[in-house]
Amino acid sequence: MSLLSGIGKIRLNGKKELTKSKQVLSLPEPEIVYIPLIIGASTDFDVHVSEGDYVHKGTKLATRKDIYVPLYSPVSGTVKGIEKRMHTSGKIQNHLLIENDFKDDEITPFSYDNPDSLSAEELVEAIKEIGILGLGGSGFPTYVKYQNAKNIEAVLINAVECEPYLTSDYKVMEKHSEELLDGTHFLMKAGHAGKGIIAVKVTNKDLILKLKEKAAKFNDIEIVGVPDAYPMGWERVLIREIFKKEYERFPSEIGIIVNNATTAIYLSEALRQKKAITHRIVTVSGEGIKNPENVYVPIGTSVDYIIDKIGGYNDKCEEIVVLAGGPMMGKSIANDQFVISSYSNSVTILPKKDTDEMPCLRCGLCVEYCPAKIQPVQIMNGEKMKDLDSVTNAGADKCITCGLCSFICPSKIEVTDWVGKAKTRIANARKAGGK
Amino acid sequence: MKIIFKRTTPNYRNILSTQEIMLYLTITLLIVSAVSAGYYFTLGADYGIKAVLMIAVSLISAYLCEAAYFYMLKEKDILKAVNRSFPYVTAILFALILPIGTPYYVVISGSLFSILIGKLIFGGFGQNIFNPALIGRVFVMMSYGDKLTAVLPSKAVDSVSGATPTTMLSGTGWSGNVGVSLTNLYIGFYKGSIGETFALLIIILGIFLAIKKVLDWRLPVFYIGTSFIITFITALVHGLSPFGFALVQIGIGGLIFGGVFMLTDPVTSPSSPYGKIIFAIGAAFFTMLLRYRSNMPEGVLYSILIMNMLTPMIDRYTISPTNENENRKKIYVIGLIGISALLITLFWRGA
Ligand code: SF4
Ligand code: SF4
């Protein structure tokens, strides 16, 4: 605990036991997959196919225009046009419909004959062509981190998975530990980094052992156990924990690139098996459904289809919330028609609980636990007065929307939302100021 | 089954609620009350009954006051509104800082004052600037000062036993005899305000509350710690036995009670760790300053009220991210403690 800056993290009831020891279910593929034509805030895409076209599994369907990201077809079949549909962003967006012919007719969209001989630049190009995106739905393409990288010392693989309920990363790593190490090596090479570190929660003892065994062959990858705390998986907290260092905006300032475990695994699979990202493991959990599971589905599978296949909603709940993501950072979506993207690691379904909001006690617990080391209560008070200076001085823009302040608040105030509003206020003022 | 859209995140909440915080606080206060009543029963049944009734009277007055207030506001569910305003915490706290000789009408008027002027006129729970119980205490002290004795009025003849260690000490220029042994000073079997004497018990309860996150450990630790350092240095400079002197100084005058139960009132203290530390050091400084340089040996009370007043200022001063300039802040903290000790040493006019 720090005397002046508080604890900055907390141990949560992870509820991981709901799915952790269960086998991953390979669901029958859906008849139609929906490919969202949106990544991050960008909806501007070049669509390379038109209605009625036959596509293979692996056919390039579209590319994002502003920052290059290709989208590949996860199934073979016929293009059925474009439809507006709910998206994990919470808004209605364009989706490309593919009717599955269940033939699994696959092509290789890219081919790297000898992946081990690729140079760093060629690897970055490969990461770009494979279309790997960062997690969290921000849709930040992984290759961008490497294009601008200078003096990178270590690649830090974030395998922490600190959100409650989520076990999809754990499941993927359990199955693909070989690919995880292999992919880490490729990433290290792409960043000219001499060192790789894979951070896993200490509570995942079996996984740590397994990875350590595999890593023993090399002397440049280290497996590090980190405390079971939230938000340990956030870059800044993870780096604080492992390197005892702080940075201004990006970890690359102190010579570190952080990638998610699935990124490394995707990369290895794409390079060695020449496979586009077509499927993924998703945790579908929470008390709002009957059988929490990890499912293996094609990208573009609709959530209602998955829930139906695994036994449906819990009839005992009258009202539920469906979250794209986990309970802390996940976003409530108004219906269950949204689809799984390559970066969706989970869907959490919870019974709706009403909170009884009390006046702010000014207890400072939100300050004590904020991982961004800002003062949510002060920002909330500043925001209530619409005081731009005050929220700016308080550093509201540093908030990462981790939700810890609302979580911890004994008065059950929506502190995170207030800070969010303050953040928007600052962003709008910056835009207006032309900066 | 219906899917509801929820605009706010997160959808996961900690169990600890404000209601629970108040419950924990009340339980610890009731433990203090019970021990206190037990002690006074050893002095005689009339003393014991008086102690119990003082707390009861304060509680009843506070509830009636809140009920009347919400009735006048035309609140629909008065009971709910009163419960969400937590009058019991203030009421028990207020009773515990009165000496046993306080007449019931004084308890009643003080309790009403605490609730009404200390809390409700500011807009209710969470809005008040000053600690309500302390406001009530200051009010009764100003209005009925001579009635606040540590003996029952019926026994007023033997007035010597009514002297508290604090008043005795201040009479001797602070270097004389406390009248009770150091051990007993901490165990608390002597007369003072009814709840504030049981220092050791209060420390244990304080540790429990800190672990339960009901109070921030920084406040009592820095308050009591700074008080200790200040008095230790003062004694050292003035040729007294530093350990004994400092231990007596933090043992008397409800300092530990104030540090654990009054200073830590979240509503009236700063919200950042750094702010809390400055607040606690400031309170320690004013406690000693008032104790030695004014004719109010109960410096604890006023010092906390003074710092309550400064809380908005401290909050404004410490608004930036908590991990900015940590080293500089640490130096400031040490500097503040040092300056406080120096000033008190200079101001001290005892011995
Ligand atoms: S945790 Fe809640 S009650 Fe406590 S200071 Fe923050 S907003 Fe206020
Ligand atoms: S949501 Fe933002 S303000 Fe709240 S604890 Fe997380 S980082 Fe801090």
Beta strands in B70-212 (DSSP E): none
CB contact under 8 A, B8 and A406: yes
Distance from CA of B68 to the nearest CA of A (A): 21
Question: Nearest residue on chain A to B312, judged by CA atoms?
Answer: A378
Lowest-pLDDT range, A17-31, A64-78, B4-18, B176-190? B176-190
- What's residue B154's pLDDT? 67
- What's residue B155's pLDDT? 60
The closest residue, in CA terms, to atom 8 on ligand 2 is: A370
Which pair of structure tokens corresponds to residue B77?
Answer: 């569910």
Mutate to test the interface with A, among B6, B11, B314 (most CBs of A within 10 A): B11
| pLDDT surpassing 70 at residue A434 | no
If pLDDT is split at 50, 70 and 90, which confidence band does B351 have? very low
Residues A290 and A313: their CA atoms lie apart, in Å, by 6
What digits encode the pLDDT tens for the residues B110-166? Answer: 999 999 999 999 989 989 999 999 999 999 999 998 888 887 766 654 444 556 777
Q: Identify the DSSP state of A330.
A: P
Distance from CA of A305 to the nearest CA of B (A): 15
What digits encode the pLDDT tens for the residues A78-87? Answer: 999 999 999 9
φ, ψ (nearest 5 deg) of residue A50: -130, 170
Residues with CB under 6 A from ligand 1: A 360-366, 376-377, 408-411, 413, 415; B 271
Q: What DSSP line would sit under B232-252, residue for residue?
A: HHHHHHTTS-HHHHHHHHHHS
* pTM over cut 0.80: yes
What digits encode the pLDDT tens for the residues B225-259? Answer: 999 999 999 999 988 889 999 999 999 889 999 99
Distance from CA of A373 to the nearest CA of B (A): 5
Higher pLDDT, B111 or B191: B111
What digits encode the pLDDT tens for the residues A131-184? Answer: 998 865 566 889 998 987 888 999 999 999 999 999 999 999 999 999 999 999
- Cα torsion through B17, B216, A396, A347, rounded to 10: -40
Q: Are A364 and A112 in contact (CB under 8 A)?
A: no
CB contact under 8 A, B271 and A407: no
Residue A368's CB is within 10 A of a number of other CB atoms, namely: 26
- What's residue B173's pLDDT? 67
Rounded to the nearest integer, the mean pLDDT of chain B is 90
What digits encode the pLDDT tens for the residues B284-316? Answer: 999 999 988 877 767 899 999 999 999 999 999
- Cα torsion through A300, A303, A307, A308, rounded to 10: -70
Q: In what order do the strands lie in the sheet with A69-72?
A: A45-47, A60-64, A69-72
Report yes or no: A92 at the B interface, CB cutoff 8 Å.
no
Beta strands in chain B (DSSP E): 2-3
ipTM computed for the complex:
0.91
What digits encode the pLDDT tens for the residues B33-90? Answer: 999 999 999 999 999 999 999 999 999 999 999 999 999 998 888 989 998 999 999 9
Which ligand has the shortest distance to the CA of A395? 2
Q: In what order do the strands lie in the sheet with A54-55?
A: A32-36, A92-100, A77-86, A54-55
If pLDDT is split at 50, 70 and 90, which confidence band does B212 have? very high
- What's residue B190's pLDDT? 86
3 state SS of B268: helix
Per-residue burial over B220-243, b = 16 or more CB atoms within 10 Å of its CB, e = otherwise: bebbbbbbbbbbbbbbbebebebe
Report how far apart, in Å, the C-alpha atoms of A406 and of each of A222, A289, B8, B39 are. 35, 25, 10, 44
Residues A185 and A356: their CA atoms lie apart, in Å, by 50
Q: Identify the DSSP state of A110.
A: -
Q: How large is the average pLDDT for residues B10-28?
A: 93
Mutate to test the interface with A, among B77, B318, B323 (most CBs of A within 10 A): B323
Omega before B10 within 30 of 0, i.e. cis: yes
Which pair of structure tokens corresponds to residue B55?
Answer: 């707390």
Q: Nearest Cα to A278, choosing from A290, A289, A269, A288? A: A269
